[in-house]
Amino acid sequence: MIMKLIIAEKPDQGSTLAAQFKTKKQQGYIEIMPNELFPDGAYVTWAVGHLCQLVSPETYHSKWKKWSMETLPMIPEKFQYEVTRQKAKQFNVVKTLLRKPEVDEIIHAGDAGREGELIVRNIVNLCNVNKPMKRLWISSLTPKAIYEGFQNLKSEEKTRPLYYEAYTRACADWVVGMNASRAYSILLKQRGVSDVFSAGRVQTPTLALIVKREMEIEQFKSEPFWEVFADFKMDGKKYQGKWQLNNDPRIKTKEMADKIAAFCKGKEAEIAEMDTERKEFQPPLLFNLSSLQATVNKIYKYSPKQTLDIVQSLYQKGIVSYPRSDSNYVTQGEAETFPDILQKLSGFSEYESLFPLPQPNIMNNKRFVNEKKVTDHYAIIPTEQVTDPKRLSAEERNIYDLVVRRLIAAHYEKAIFDYTTIKTLVDKRAEFISKGKQQIQEGWRKVIFQNNDKDDDDIILPSVSKGDSGKVANIKVKEGKTQPPKRYTEGQLITLMKTAGKHLDNEELEKVLMKTEGLGTEATRAGIITMLKDRKYINVKKNQVFATDKGKVLITAIGEKILASPEMTAKWEQRLREIGEGKASAGGFMEAVKKMSAKIISDAVESSESWDFQGLDTDSIQRSGPKKRSAASVGSCKLCGSKIVDKGEFYGCVSYQKTKCNFTISKKILNKKISQANIKKLLASGETDLISGFKKGEKTFDAILSWSDSEKKISFAFPTEQNVKQT
């Protein structure tokens, strides 16, 4: 008897692969009964994600257990993997099956990508088994795709370079991550910031982009401006225009705005110029994972990790194709299945109004069907196993609907709009601009923006012509203020990671990042964002990404060094991809990584001499031990003399439970964060330094926080001395 051993990446994938055949379920594996594909039958088993992991530093050398600058950089002579303790039981199941004498061939059925390649091969290598291997490489889990995949197994040599790429990536990330994390944690502890600071090749440049935006927001000073709007009446036709000078509509003083409005009031007006530009918009590309995560986050506010989990669930059910794809295109083979898929979709109430399709076939449309632009996988599309959306959970339905609509929209015409600009002169001098948009052809927007159109309502301008004249019917002045840059949403963060090339100065490197998909891969970006949350570097509130003080401290410490730069990632991604294509040496790459690690450590030591964390709450960044430590006191209570401690959003009295002492100081007053140093000063001396940036309504002011013993409260004080210390 000669049997095959099929190793899947996850239990549910193993079950799906086996479901095509008669089977017998066993502990940790499934036995496939003899059939035409497997005459003697087969075993199907699985990993549970990564069963193996790179060992910790102390496994290589006992001296590496202690966190010390003297032991850095840590460079293993040969990298070693070990079985993760909680997954040892399943590893032993796989090991036993691999070593069965009747098993003469291994079928590698991990996800068809770099990580899947690594997961299964690591298990086989760790078991010291050297048997022939074939590769199952499929992009969907429908019965048809699985059966055809087993009929057309690849030679393992064809996908082996992807294993070398993934293995090299993991080892390189270990070297950079372990050494950089220890170096910055040790050096920051010497500066009184006692916490573990994780750093890495992808997470740190991503965090740097978030912190940079946070700093831009914090340092932004809002300034008021005024705009003048006029309502024009031209032969009974009305429209509105905005005053401008040299294409700038903003006026710096109210006095000037009022003067312009007074000058224009009731004056003659004439249309000096009128321009209409027609714009055509092609249907959007099919989804890859990044574009799906960004779109879902914008519409439904799901995190990138949540979206990946949901679309993975749809993939497991066999109703969408492989989710971790980086391609927006399909091959002609997939395009041939579209008419059948669309015919089935037309029977559901959600989509019946979109049929018949304007273009029943897109086989020759290279915007969607382009073999050259399909990499390991084609775009995320619904499979022939079409499902009624009503049978799915609400979250699954939302994402399945988006994927379906993208495919339907590809069969629609372009959307066409006319954009009109009118320049009106008042008294032949004051210039006003009016802009409007008119939909000429709805096209694909009928499909995609049916329920989710967030665009502003179209401003339809009246039918007027150049040379028409009339009067200013009404004039008004409107006050506004400049706005800081907006915080990134999680969806925008995914896009930012993918297109990080725009943050590079070097044009060639920018092209590299655009080609290699920026920071991280389709499969890892959501995990990087989750990691930044777990490590307390970022907070996400109402889908807005905030950098924490811990994140700011790390990026302030690293500064402009290469560890925080997308440039390093661009170079690495280029070389790693070449390894995956069999064009570059993994050994040569690792030598460069070792040198890079030494440079990262020397950079950290050199820059640590001049670190300045002023304005950041470093006292709150402390490593939490196994037992909850009592919070450190920042001073004495002004009401009862007990300790004042950090209670999260505010500082409060430790005696509240016993005596109901309700003394508190908020960490943020009138939109201004109060530093712990100022809290301590207030409790010790009765007042803070001068604090700048309090905001009340539209006004910003500077003040000292002062404690009044007579009134038993904190109030604002406004000193006249110019030499007072300001924070």
Tokens of 719: 């000193």
**Number of Cβ within a 10 Å radius of residue 130:** 9
What is the three-state SS of 371-436?
Answer: HHHCCCCCCECECCCCCCHHHCCHHHHHHHHHHHHHHHHCCCCCEEEEEEEEEEEECCCEEEEEEE
Residue ranges of E strands in 47-159: 52-54, 81-83, 103-109, 133-135, 154-155
DSSP codes of every residue in 176-204? HHHHHHHHHHHHHHHTT--S-----TTHH
**Half-sphere exposure for 15 (CA within 13 Å, toward CB):** 11
Location of structure tokens 């070297």: 175
Does the annotation mark 322 as catalytic? Answer: yes
**Number of Cβ within a 10 Å radius of residue 455:** 8
Catalytic residue among 322, 351, 400, 651: 322
Which contacts of 479-484 are long-range, i.e. CB under 8 A and separated by 24 or more positions?
479/224, 479/225, 479/226, 479/254, 480/224, 480/225, 480/226, 480/227, 480/250, 481/222, 481/223, 481/224, 481/225, 481/698, 482/220, 482/222, 482/223, 482/225, 483/222, 484/216, 484/217, 484/220, 484/222
d(CA 138, CA 159): 13
Our CA angle for 277, 279, 280, nearest 5°, is 160
Phi first, then psi: what are they for 31, rounded to 5°?
Answer: -100, 125
d(CA 639, CA 578): 68
Residue ranges of E strands in 427-514: 430-441, 469-481
> Do the beta carbons of residue 173 and residue 201 sit within 8 Å?
yes
- What are 726's strand-pairing partners? 690
List, by residue number, the catalytic residues. Answer: 322
